[in-house]
Amino acid sequence: MATDKTLKKKQVSAEAAPELDVVVVGAGFAGMFLLHRLRGLGYRVKVLEAGSDVGGTWYWNRYPGARCDVESMQYSYQFSDDLQQDWDWTERYATQPEIIRYAHHVADRFDLRRDIRFDSRVSAAHHDDARRIWRITTEKGDQFTARWFVMATGCLSSANMPDIPGVDDFAGAIYHTGQWPHDGVDFTGKRVAVIGTGSSAMQSIPIIAEQAASLTVFQRTANYAIPARNRPLDPADVADTKAHYGEIRAEAWRMPAGILFKPNDVSAKAVDDAEREARFEHRWQKGGLTFLGAFNDLLLDEESNRYAADFVRNKIRQTVKDPATAELLCPTNIIGCKRLCVDTDYYQTFNRANVSLVDISATPIEVITATGLRTGGKDHAFDCIVFATGFDAMTGSLLRVDIRGSGGRTLADKWAEGPKTYLGLMTAGFPNMFMVTGPGSPSVLTNMLPSIEQHVEFIADCVKHASAEGLTRMEAEESAEEAWVAHGDQVAGLTLRSTCSSWYIGANIPGKPRVFMPYIGGLPAYLEKCSDVVAKGYDGFRLS
Ligand code: NA7
């Protein structure tokens, strides 16, 4: 028979038990794998997703030409060998539709959808200190309680719509590449404006130009692009990769970006002009992001960087027939400082009679009018305007949820001067809340899929460890966080990547604190740190 004391204890623990073990926000590749891993460990997990299906970034970014800039055989899960053996990628760089098919295949294969609530955008998550639980609320008013709360909301998922006056006055159609209509857009016969010249613009412009009556590109900063040299995958190469997937993946983990390629240990300054040109040409012909691996100091030394930049500028001048347009398209900043783009016929597109380029570096778009837009005092008329203006990267999706940690402190308040995390996984004062590929993790500087998998394994191990030890609260120690942030700043300061106004430092969003957000010390150093933390009993985390 239960005594008063035991009854009371039972009542307290029944009240204290949250309905779920883990709530995950986001059903992209991070949320999907988290669900699979945690559910497999026996936890009660619910994923809340704003979209109507899985895919995350790839669910929203459906603009024409959307494609991954990491090769498909590497931009894929490795947690299941059966999965990686069964799935067949068809192109060197997968298109958005193929990546979405892959996401659907994974969701079906592991029966994920039954624990995902779609069309459910999370608006708030508050930590209840007394009960050691999170209360999560969606915009529709649904509420959930969970011991653990994971933001798996992606790094490039909060679209940046510039605050240009008059947007509502425009009589035509307005699109954002990051929120593309699911039934597509037919630009046939239309006068189209594209604002922006980042990766999304460079991928979509050649395709829009083929359809549109006219296309005008509004460029604030010229960007570097390396040809993708995309091609259908040779079935023999695919079979060979699959036969050696284990070794290939293992080797990729040892690369700074988690992407397998042959690095070069020579400085661009250590070779003569002819050899330098030949090495750049070799990488240019191979195509893709590994162009920056032509020498070992392109992102460390300005003179070496200038050689690479000059090489690409010469390619642009050779490609674009109109010299004035070619000059405008030639970037003047450090190559690779903003994320390098991988293109198919971007520069060639400016040789088309129906395509023109408008430099808005000195004359921002003043206003959107009923018939188009105005810049430099001149009106341009359009039927459609495409904003290819990027994202509030890395912190945007975290901060648009009203997240409150211990004592009710908001994440927005804590990060007012820039994000602070321990390993990009937790932030002090927000117990039992994890981020997948949060600021302070290698994330966007690496192949996202393996980085996601590593974070998911780390988080699952934390949850498992805490439950096995009967612990209900885990948080980053402030001192460990400070040290990690200082280390991140220090390594960022060593590279040229922190020297320009990129989204890596939040410079594309007015008023956003300028902090280099991803961890640039390389994946191997990060993995070593994580292993060390675990080996030392979750060093830098407080468990109770
Ligand atoms: P990006 O790379 O951030 O590019 C956005 C582009 O939009 C870039 O050229 C910006 O110019 C331009 N932009 C942003 N705001 C404005 C305003 N207000 N006026 C004019 N032009 C503007 O985003 P993407 O979507 O292309 O790519 C994001 C990542 O996705 C990419 O790096 C890959 O990793 C995949 P700016 O350079 O800021 O002068």
CATH code of 428's domain: 3.50.50.60
Q: Are residues 177 and 239 both part of a single domain?
A: yes
Q: For the segment 369-387, what is each residue's pLDDT rounded down to a tens digit?
A: 999 999 999 999 999 999 9
Range of the domain at 205: 167-387
Q: Are residues 195 and 221 both part of a single domain?
A: yes
Q: Which of 156, 208, 220, 367 is the pocket-test mutation for ligand 1 (most atoms within 8 Å of CB)?
A: 220
Q: Are residues 519 and 383 both part of a single domain?
A: no
Mean pLDDT computed over 40-68: 98
pLDDT at residue 263 in the model: 80
| Residue 155 alpha carbon to ligand 1 centre in Å | 14
pLDDT at residue 16 in the model: 60
Whether 388 lines ligand 1, by a CB cut-off of 6 Å, is yes
Q: Is pLDDT of 13 > 70?
A: no
- The candidate with the shortest Cα–Cα distance to 152, out of 61, 57, 67, 60, is 57
| Residue 197 alpha carbon to ligand 1 centre in Å | 6
**Count of domains observed in the chain:** 2
Cα 489 from Cα 504, distance rounded (Å): 12
DSSP string covering 173-199, please? EEEEGGG--TT----TT-EEEEE--SH
Q: Are residues 52 and 149 both part of a single domain?
A: yes
pLDDT at residue 262 in the model: 83
pTM recorded for the entire structure: 0.95
Q: Return the CA Rg of the chain.
A: 24
Q: Which of 60, 63, 176, 199 is the pocket-test mutation for ligand 1 (most atoms within 8 Å of CB)?
A: 199
Q: For the segment 431-442, what is each residue's pLDDT rounded down to a tens digit?
A: 999 999 999 999
Ligand 1, atom nearest to 360 Cα: 20
Q: Are residues 378 and 522 both part of a single domain?
A: no
Q: Are residues 300 and 188 both part of a single domain?
A: yes
In 3-state terms, what secondary structure has residue 38?
Answer: helix
Whether 390 lines ligand 1, by a CB cut-off of 6 Å, is yes
Q: Are residues 204 and 256 both part of a single domain?
A: yes
Whether 397 lines ligand 1, by a CB cut-off of 6 Å, is no
Q: Are residues 508 and 397 both part of a single domain?
A: yes
Q: Whose CA is nearest to atom 16 of ligand 1?
A: 389
What average pLDDT does the chain have? 96
| Residue 523 alpha carbon to ligand 1 centre in Å | 25
Q: Are residues 142 and 174 both part of a single domain?
A: no
Q: Are residues 474 and 397 both part of a single domain?
A: yes
Q: For the segment 451-490, what is each residue's pLDDT rounded down to a tens digit?
A: 999 999 999 999 999 999 999 999 999 999 999 999 999 9
Cα 74 from Cα 207, distance rounded (Å): 26
pLDDT at residue 375 in the model: 97
Q: Is pLDDT of 404 > 70?
A: yes
- The candidate with the shortest Cα–Cα distance to 390, out of 210, 202, 230, 209, is 202
Q: Are residues 97 and 181 both part of a single domain?
A: no
386, 66 contact by CB (below 8 A)? no
DSSP state at residue 498:
G
Could you say which of 335, 361, 387 is where a domain stops? 387
| Residue 136 alpha carbon to ligand 1 centre in Å | 32
Q: Are residues 204 and 269 both part of a single domain?
A: yes
Could you say which of 387, 419, 448 is where a domain stops? 387
Ligand 1, atom nearest to 390 Cα: 23
Q: For the segment 438-454, what is each residue's pLDDT rounded down to a tens digit?
A: 999 999 999 999 999 99
Q: Is pLDDT of 12 > 80?
A: no
Which uninterrupted H or E stretch holds 208?
Answer: helix 199-211
Q: For the segment 21-32, what is each residue's pLDDT rounded down to a tens digit?
A: 999 999 999 999
The dihedral formed by the CA atoms of 426, 429, 432 and 436, expressed in degrees to the nearest 10: -20
Whether 177 lines ligand 1, by a CB cut-off of 6 Å, is yes
Could you say which of 368, 387, 406 is where a domain stops? 387
